[in-house]
Structure 1
Amino acid sequence: MQQGHQLIIYTDGASRGNPGPGGYGAILMWGEKRKELAAGYRLTTNNRMELMGVIAALESLTKTNIALTVYTDSKYIVDSVEKRWLDNWIKTGFKGGKKNSDLWTKYYKLSRQFSIKFKWVKGHADNPFNNRCDELATTAADGKQLLIDEGYEAENKLI
């Protein structure tokens, strides 16, 4: 599955209701090393949590200029990056009311520090890493002391 020492990241996002309480999970793998990340938010959307999982994983890295592969069950993320939709959204300032511009802008800035390839995996299937990320995300969404997704709540004039 892994060649040499390439960073492999699995991410997933979940939302109980859309919008509703949500969470993300991420697993970072470098050789035999594993690191899990998760956080829950009081009000957000599934797509925002999918993106937050990727962003949190990238923000946790201490090295830049490395190649990494991100596995996600979010076609929204895979298509937005791999089909270069995001590049166009950035160029046009997210014209036409594209959602999640705050998170996409954050991702875009972070992504410039790495060589990232996205791969889609079928969710809720037989991939143990994707299933673990789903478990991390849903557990975080169901947790207490949920964080505030300031971007979502501000955009919807809730804070």
Structure 2
Amino acid sequence: MSAALPVETTSAPPRRITIAFDGACLGNPGPGGYGAILVNETTGAEKIVKGRETATTNNKMELSAAIAGLNSLRPGAHVTMLGDSQYVIKGIAEWMPGWKARGWRAAGGKPVANVEQWRALELAVARHASVAWTWVRGHAGHELNERVDRIASGEAASA
């Protein structure tokens, strides 16, 4: 007869992460870049995620920044997303339910632009315990927004 192993009864505190995200494009379309700064609210530790494309749009880069930030975390985090893109924030928080109900068509009946990225963002959000979206005015002195803007702009310039 073997003894039962002790059951772990403690659980880790919830991971609370803030992600500042931004996209940039030189021309629209043109070379683009994105960046995300992930901040662990408990430890203050930061992680930077960035990328670039040679031919893209600003909206696609904004979406790519949010997706990359969320996907770079282990699932189950409580996330606050900070961004200056009303396109992304209103899209995920307000417009997406209507788009889905209409078969990914906008209110005027046209197909939703960047539908692949919207679907990827929806999946990235679903990986986490909660995701809250906060709009910040761009180029208004918000430290994380200014930093992530420099990262995205640098990636666009290097594309």
TM category, shorter = 0.7 to 0.9
Residue 139 of structure 2 corresponds to 124
Contact kept, 8 Å, 2:15 with 2:78, in 1: the verdict is: no
Match of 1:54 among 56, 61, 66: 66
Point out 4+ residue stretches in structure 1 off by more than 4 angstroms. none
Match of 2:98 among 88, 94, 106: 88
Residue 77 (structure 1) shift:
1.1
Residue 157 of structure 1 corresponds to none
* Structure 1: segments with no counterpart, 5+ residues: 147-159
**Taking structure 2 as the reference length, what is the TM-score of the superposition?**
0.83
Match of 2:20 among 10, 20, 35: 10
Deviation string 1:18-53 (CA, Å, 9 cap, x unpaired) is 111000010000031000111111011111100000
**Taking structure 1 as the reference length, what is the TM-score of the superposition?**
0.83
- Secondary structure of 2:139's aligned partner: coil
Number of equivalences: 139
Residue 111 of structure 1 corresponds to 125
In 2: Cα distance, 1:124 partner to 1:25 partner: 15
- Secondary structure of 1:142's aligned partner: helix
Contact kept, 8 Å, 1:21 with 1:41, in 2: the verdict is: yes
Report the RMSD for the aligned CA atoms in angstroms: 1.4
Residue 5 (structure 1) shift:
5.2
